[in-house]
Amino acid sequence: METPETIKQSVKQKYTEIALQDKETNQSSCCGAGGCSTEVYNIMSDDYTKLKGYNPDADLGLGCGLPTQFAKIKKGDVVIDLGSGAGNDCFVARHETGETGKVIGIDFTEAMIAKARLNAEKLGFHNVEFRQGDIEKMPVGGNVADVVVSNCVLNLVPDKEKAVKEIYRVLKPGGHFSISDVVLIGDLPEGVVKDAEMYAGCVAGALQKSKYMSIIDETGFKNVTIQKEKPIVIPDDILLRFIDRETIDAYKNSGKGIYSITVYAEKPTEEKACCGPNCCS
């Protein structure tokens, strides 16, 4: 049975491979590393190329949405990007926040941090920095960020409740997040869920949509909304590696599915007052 630590090491190994290979190889697969399907060019990611601040060297084609497009970033904002990879969302965010703002990218993988720092150096950006760290325990102080963004990363984190609490901690009162991620509606076939490749880059670490949203609510965020939702259709030639045709057909007709959602939520401007020595424990 996998432990949180072995899952993290698996993810780190996979994304080190991704950082060290070219974008074309990444985009030809659903999981980032290794060939995945002959039916589609890329299953998950959306097109960043029309967003201002986009830099092709930083786009590894690994996301499942466009969170920075919906993040309501203003000039002078401090923005944190979780799972910043080669810096793609950070550089888009930097265009929005301008020279008076600051962007902090956090990533678990040394090779990704090195790649992102090189890209920032090439662009001459002095208000974009990249820190290696765990999203479950961010290397950032509390009440720092105006905005948090993330693209298809929380599904890789073993303890999602802890990660969402960390997002709450680092946001300033009144700050907000816009996060794209993969969620499930209904249970996936067991063969897909257990496959290590699917976990490391696609869907097997994803939660049920209802559970995902309840974690955000229970953490204390308000004005929680889904800014965008789209189905993720895994081609048959991928599924046939793990399950038979009969199971695939039954799955397609079951109403179950995999979705990319972009979720927005705000940290309250004021914390709830403690009413006594015991009620807030």
Confidence of residue 204 (pLDDT cuts 50, 70, 90): low
Alpha helices, H only, the chain: 4-19, 23-27, 88-97, 110-123, 160-170, 190-193, 196-201, 209-219, 236-239, 245-252
For the segment 208-222, the average pLDDT, to the nearest whole number, is 96
Q: Is 94 helix (H, G, I), strand (E, B) or coil?
A: helix
Q: Which of 23-27, 103-107, 117-121, 259-263 has the lowest mean pLDDT?
A: 23-27
User: What's the confidence (pLDDT) of residue 5?
Assistant: 77
Average of per-residue pLDDT across 202-213: 83
Q: What is the predicted pLDDT for the residue at 236?
A: 79
Q: What is the pTM of this model?
A: 0.83
Percentage above 70 pLDDT, the chain: 78
> Tens digits of per-residue pLDDT, 259-278?
889 999 999 997 654 444 44
Higher pLDDT, 258 or 119: 119
Cα distances (Å, whole numbers) of residue 244 to 25, 36, 237, 241, 250? 27, 17, 11, 8, 10
* 154-184: pLDDT as tens digits: 988 889 999 999 999 999 999 999 999 989 8
Instruction: Please give the Cα distance from 78 to 37 (Å, whole number).
Output: 39
What pLDDT is attached to residue 45? 67
Pairing of the two strands 171-185 and 207-208:
parallel
Q: Which domains are assigned to the chain?
A: 4-266 (3.40.50.150)
Cβ contacts of residue 112 below 8 Å, gap of 6+?
15, 16, 18, 19, 84, 85, 86
**SS3 call for 153:** coil
- State the residue for tokens 């045709």: 245
Which of 111-125, 157-171, 187-201, 213-227 has the weakest average pLDDT?
187-201
Model confidence at 13: pLDDT above 90: no
What is the per-residue pLDDT for 55?
A: 86
